[in-house]
Amino acid sequence: MKSYKVLFVGSPGSGKTTAIRTISDVEVVDTDTKVSDSTIKRKRTTTVGMDYGKLSLGEDKVLHLYGTPGQERFKFMWDLMVSDLANDASALILLVDNTRNYPFRDIDYYLSEFWDFIVKRHFIIAVTRSDLAAEPTEADYQNRLKEKGIFAPIIFIDARKSMDVMDLVVSALNQEDDIDWAEISHRVAVTELKNRNPDPNSPQFEWLRKTRDVPKISIIEAAMQVRGISGATHLDNNQKLLDTSSNTLECNELFSSLAKLAAAIENKAPQLEQVRNISLHAPQKDSISVFLEPDQALGLLTLPALTHKQIRQQAEDLLQWSDNVENTQEA
């Protein structure tokens, strides 16, 4: 039996689990659990270990589909997968959620994290949710990769559609010329049709129930559901208050004055890099952090036990998912 492997990576909610589930012949082994962080803004459950699915490519060939957890706090799983489980994978497919405010930043991040793995394998970028956000366009992505000197297929997909995901798989294994892709695609399409009306007692039905639309909540509401965050304030590009969980004036004024300071530094010393974060700490006292983007800022009041890495990851995802800014190509 000849085995092939493909690894799906990408930000939380980019569609990794859905893509694997869409084409897998077997019930996907997932490690989904109820969301307990900023991902609540996007979905009810999230992968905490890994996803695994399998697609038969004929009598003597099989494709193993692996998906990493999206959150950076499960990075140990990324390391485990690239060094062991999926070390012999033929390709890495990066799923990029087009509705995130700074999707190019995700590409830069995952390129940097998986670079050693990518250079030896096929690398494909799959853009998801473009039905909800038309920009950046394919040309924008191509220009961005060109600037970075990277040549990779960019395929816009709907991770819920089997034929779209099959496009990725065909591209990932395009060097294999003895696979009957027409037969496999037909089989996958038939399975997809069958799954449209699943038995209410089946795992497929349970999956659809879990992934039903998530009620829209603000980034402040999402932030306040993260364990360890005790206050959050969202500011616009002029450091004006958009939304806050805190009615205490002094805290909001502090967030605003720190964001203003960042703007002042950029005006005074334009030769320096952009101010991304300002934070204040003391033992036994809540930390104060302001995360800055060109078009918005997020202030967080967090318990002292939360590490910088944990705070930063939550803040970055919240800023990627805020609704009040235009989808931008800023990195």
The answer to whether 1 contacts another protein (rule: CB under 8 A) is no
- Please answer whether residues 127 and 98 qualify as being in contact, where contact means their C-beta atoms are separated by less than 8 angstroms: yes
Q: Which of 56, 111, 265, 327 binds another protein (CB under 8 A)?
A: 265
Instruction: Give which of 29, 47, 31 is closest to 39, Cα–Cα.
Output: 47
The answer to whether 197 contacts another protein (rule: CB under 8 A) is no
Looking at residue 77, its amino acid is M
- Please answer whether residues 165 and 159 qualify as being in contact, where contact means their C-beta atoms are separated by less than 8 angstroms: yes
Q: In the complex with another protein, which residue's Cβ is closer, 92 or 288?
A: 288
The Cα 202–Cα 296 span in angstroms is: 44
The answer to whether 309 contacts another protein (rule: CB under 8 A) is yes
The answer to whether 294 contacts another protein (rule: CB under 8 A) is no
Q: Which of 59, 178, 250, 326 binds another protein (CB under 8 A)?
A: 250
Q: In the complex with another protein, which residue's Cβ is closer, 40 or 315?
A: 315
The answer to whether 275 contacts another protein (rule: CB under 8 A) is yes
Structural tokens at position 161: 């559609």
CB of 185 to another protein, least distance (A): 43
> Which range touches another protein (CB under 8 A), out of 56-64, 193-201, 204-212, 246-254?
246-254
CB of 284 to another protein, least distance (A): 6
The answer to whether 146 contacts another protein (rule: CB under 8 A) is no
Residues contacting 327, CB < 8 A, separation 6+: 98, 99, 101, 103, 133, 135, 136
Structural tokens at position 153: 């297929």
The answer to whether 92 contacts another protein (rule: CB under 8 A) is no
Q: Which of 269, 294, 323, 331 binds another protein (CB under 8 A)?
A: 269
C-alpha dihedral sign at 176, 182, 187, 190: positive
C-alpha distances out from residue 247 to 103, 169, 251, Å: 33, 51, 8
The answer to whether 34 contacts another protein (rule: CB under 8 A) is no
CB of 55 to another protein, least distance (A): 37
Instruction: Give which of 33, 29, 11, 12 is closest to 20, Cα–Cα.
Output: 29
Looking at residue 153, its amino acid is P
Q: Which of 119, 139, 272, 305 binds another protein (CB under 8 A)?
A: 272
Contacting positions for another protein (CB under 8 A)? 248-251, 253-254, 257-258, 261, 265, 268-269, 272-286, 288, 307-309
